[in-house]
Amino acid sequence: MAKTSVEMSPNVQKVLRFLSGAAILVVGVMVMNGLIGMKGSPKVSLPETIARPVLTQVVQNSVIAPKIPVEGRVEAWHRIDLFVEVSGVLKLGGVEFREGTAYNKGDVILSLDDTEAIANLKGARSQFVQLVAGMLASIKIDFPERSEAWEAFVASIDVASSLPELPQAETDREGYFVVNRGVQASFHTIKASEERASKFLLRAPFDGFVAQAMVRPGSLIRAGQPVGLFVGTGVFEINTAVHARFLKTLKVGADVVFSDENGTSVAEGKVDRISGNVNSATQSATVFCKVNELVDGEMRDGRYLSGFISASEFSNVVEIPLNLVDSDDAVYTVSEGKLKKVQLTPEFLSINTLVASGIPNGTVILSEPIVGSYDGMEVAASESGE
């Protein structure tokens, strides 16, 4: 049977397949370019600038007395260490001398057994009466006009009470007579003994309480022995450290208010003293504030309180939060819908605010910080109500 087609060699087949693929590729590229050419150029549109809404406030300069934040430890204005100048046994009974016991001014804090001292004092007064009475006869002869005064003096002496004052000599001759009889020497000796006997009773010099008691009733106390600490009430002092940058605006007599942990004012007063030196380590000076308690029982010796001292007044200034002021002491104002940076003149730097001058009244400034703000930024301002 005869063959109907001519067989092609393998090489010819490879060439035909390559030429077919190349033709398909060329046709595809031509079709793609034709389609791209049919499409128009895309329109480029720039995004519209949107004004950022911000809160603002209007500057109104005024007189400001800024507050200096302080804290310190309460100390009683009146506080004394108690000592006794005589020896004796501390008596039992009455209001016992114990820590926490309160006394009013003039009350007996300590009472030592003075039985022996009082007995010796009565004996000395009796001898003094005998001495003065023995010279009355001579006074009647030598100074008849003075006899009545000396007799009245002798009659007024009570050995259980303090001696009355000696009659005043009217002439030098009378004075020498009294001195030669030993009357004045004996009188002053007894007065010294009376003063010493009074030291067996220790009285409260002011209203207060016993903060520390070192002795117990019934114990023997020796002369010069410390017996405790007595602390006054009503008036207190608070020592606080103030940074050196505040000292030029701080004066003696400035108002001060201290508060407790809840923010309730518990004491108010004045700056009493300002230390003349600055601590080199902390760059602060000690300020002493004399205060009176506003709430009974809130002021206690040793308690820590925080408060504010009123600094000197500044005129024609405005107080601005620190988060609105940049590192160059400038703030952003709003003018014609755009931000504009304006330089300030700092007058007083506090913890959270800056008292500054240099901004005219009516200037509109931001009342809240804006992230990414810059000079010329478009904004839509609205009043913050501050």
State pLDDT tens for residues 56-111.
889 899 998 888 888 999 988 888 999 889 998 988 777 788 888 999 999 998 88
State pLDDT tens for residues 101-135.
999 999 998 889 888 899 999 999 999 999 999 99
**Worst-scoring range by mean pLDDT, 133-142, 158-167, 340-349, 376-385?**
376-385
Count of residues in the chain: 386
Split at pLDDT 50, 70, 90, the class of 1 is very low
Separation of alpha carbons 135 and 133, rounded Å? 5
Percent of the chain with pLDDT over 90: 25
Q: What is the mean pLDDT of residues 174-186?
A: 90
Separation of alpha carbons 275 and 239, rounded Å? 10
Whether pLDDT at 385 is above 70:
no
Q: Which residues have CB under 8 Å from 5's CB, separation 6+?
A: none
Residues linked to residue 352 through DSSP beta bridges, in sequence order: none
State pLDDT tens for residues 287-327.
999 998 887 777 888 888 999 998 888 889 998 888 888 88
- Asked if 375 contacts 84 with a C-beta cutoff of 8 angstroms, the reply is no
DSSP letter string, 138-168: HHHHH-GGGHHHHHHHHHH--TTSPPPPPPP
Coil, strand or helix: which one is 25?
helix
pLDDT the model gives residue 339 = 87
In this structure, the number of other CB atoms found within 10 A of the CB of residue 84 comes to: 20
Q: 189: which DSSP letter? A: H
Statement: the pTM of the whole predicted model exceeds 0.85: no
Burial of 243 (0-12, 13-18, 19+ CB in 10 A): middle
Can you list the domains of the chain with their CATH numbers?
A: 54-63+314-383 (2.40.420.20), 67-75+234-310 (2.40.30.170), 80-113+200-230 (2.40.50.100), 116-198 (no CATH)
Q: How many Cα atoms are found within 13 Å in the side-chain-facing hemisphere of 86?
A: 21
